[in-house]
Amino acid sequence: MQIHKTLKPIFVTRFKCVGPECLISCCRGWTISIDKKTHQKYLSSTHPGIAAIAKDNLILQRKGKVNYSRIKLDEKGECPFIDENKLCMVHRDLGESALSHTCSTYPRSSTRYLDETRHSMTLSCPEVVRRVLFDPDAMLLQEQDELLAVYKTNLIGQRQSMPQSSQVIHLLAWKIIQSPARNVEENLMALAQLILTLQHVNFDLHNQYEQVERFYEALLEALQSGKSLLSESNVGRSNAMKYLALSILGTNVARDSARDGYINEGHRQIADFLNFSHDSDPARLAQKFDAINQQWGKLCQESCLSEPYVLRNYLLYKLYSGYFPGKNTATIMRQFYRIVLDFFYLKVFLSVKSMDEQLDQQMVMKTIASFSEKTLHNQTIDARMDFAIDKINGGDDLSCLLLIG
């Protein structure tokens, strides 16, 4: 027998689909795969409407049992099973059990390791964004242990257990992001300094843990005392890198196709504000980024982002969903760079957009969901983001620190 642990953040247990009230419907604009069992069930359904729709709109693919067919969307890009009230006919008339594997699981996900299963949900769903950011308890983890026979823990598709050193680093990173501080940028800077210390001892936590722990505790003390870890130096270099990062993200992320044009439209606002095409004068650039920072500071004090848990929950979600730092600690700074780059882009996006319209929960939900669609539901995005980072960082992933302040 072996103990197998199951982890579920609170937001997973509290999530409920809002159906027609959703800001960005998952029944529109996406390829909807149908598994073989559901394909046959719909075609042979005694429900005349569902059987007829299935006959006309299920396109065979035969790419395995899960992707046996796909639904042909209508001229509006919507699933033909959606009725005039934007409700799913299958769910309405046949019940949840009749939904396909894709429709019954999205936005849920789970990753099974030899010793644990971690449940999560994707931020490409706006309602998940709301649950993660705007519930103070969202990232509290519910843990359940069960005894399993060894043969039940050795299943096809599950991953090997995370190395103990990676689990320790994950816990330290979690505590640093969770710690009270002047702002979440300070938490990110503290995490960067912890990573540098880990690299300094070559991730040898077995022999060097006391040294790492002392430095970690000093970081927590600095955060909780309100001391700033952010550097005011290299502002000019920082602005130039931010400008380059936004330009490259426009090419590699914002212009990608999506269910709506929200990110593309917002990026054009950023481009207009910074005058991408014509203005790279350092003095004017400094003024523009000062304005963005002032607007961000205002949002963090006076908007729906003002509660301290909101942005911390977002960063904790990023750590949890990727099980930071993973098995390969050699890539830890690149993983951290991706977290910083995503946070930086959302910070600029919301700051510029809120200069023209009031920021509210719906704007935050649409922004993060639309951005996550582009960065999570794309087979080539990881390679393109690595390429983008290589163009931004000048050969040094540590340069991501310039994007934090």
Q: What is the mean pLDDT of residues 87-103?
A: 92
Q: What is the mean pLDDT of residues 131-151?
A: 89
Question: What is the model's pLDDT at position 280?
Answer: 67
Q: What residues have CB less than 8 Å from 223, skipping those under 6 apart? A: 176, 179, 180, 181, 186, 187, 190, 229
Rounded to an integer, what distance in angstroms lies between the CA atom of residue 201 and that of residue 208? Answer: 7
Rounded to an integer, what distance in angstroms lies between the CA atom of residue 19 and that of residue 124? Answer: 15
Tokens at residue 83, please?
């009725």
DSSP H or E run through 33: strand 33-34
Contact between 359 and 385 under an 8 Å Cβ cutoff? The reply is no
Q: What percent of the chain has pLDDT over 70?
A: 95
pLDDT digits (tens, 9 = 90+) for 325-364: 999 999 999 999 999 999 999 999 999 999 999 999 999 9
Contact between 71 and 32 under an 8 Å Cβ cutoff? The reply is yes
Tokens at residue 188, please?
């990110």
Tokens 């649409």, residue? Answer: 366
Question: What is the model's pLDDT at position 253?
Answer: 81
**What single-letter DSSP state applies at residue 160?**
P
Flag whether pLDDT at 8 surpasses 80: yes
Cis bond before residue 163 (omega within 30° of 0): no
Radius of gyration of the chain (CA): 23
**What single-letter DSSP state applies at residue 30?**
S
Flag whether pLDDT at 404 surpasses 70: yes
Residue 257: band (very low, low, confident or very high) from pLDDT cuts 50, 70, 90:
low
DSSP string, 296-340: HHHHHHHSTT-SHHHHHHHHHHHHHHTTTT-S-GGGHHHHHHHHH
Residue 132: band (very low, low, confident or very high) from pLDDT cuts 50, 70, 90:
very high
Question: What is the model's pLDDT at position 33?
Answer: 92
Rounded to an integer, what distance in angstroms lies between the CA atom of residue 263 and that of residue 265? Answer: 5
CA distances from 301 to 295, 297, 298, 389 (A): 10, 6, 5, 31
Flag whether pLDDT at 21 surpasses 90: yes
DSSP string, 252-275: IIITS--SSSHHHHHHHHHHHHHT
Tokens at residue 165, please?
């050193």
Burial label, 14 (beta-carbon count in 10 A; 0-12, 13-18, 19+) = exposed
Q: What percent of the chain has pLDDT over 90?
A: 71
Question: What is the model's pLDDT at position 88?
Answer: 93
Q: What is the mean pLDDT of residues 383-404?
A: 86
Question: What is the model's pLDDT at position 51?
Answer: 94
Sign of CA dihedral 18, 21, 26, 28: positive
3-class state of residue 346 by DSSP: helix
Task: Determine if residue 61 is left, alpha or beta; phi over 0 gives left, psi from -120 to 50 gives alpha, anything else beta.
Answer: alpha
β-partners of residue 67 are 63
List the chain domain ranges: 27-105, 209-403
Query: What's the first-to-final CA gap in the chain, in angstroms?
Result: 50
Burial label, 326 (beta-carbon count in 10 A; 0-12, 13-18, 19+) = middle
Question: What is the model's pLDDT at position 30?
Answer: 86
Rounded to an integer, what distance in angstroms lies between the CA atom of residue 94 and that of residue 106? Answer: 18
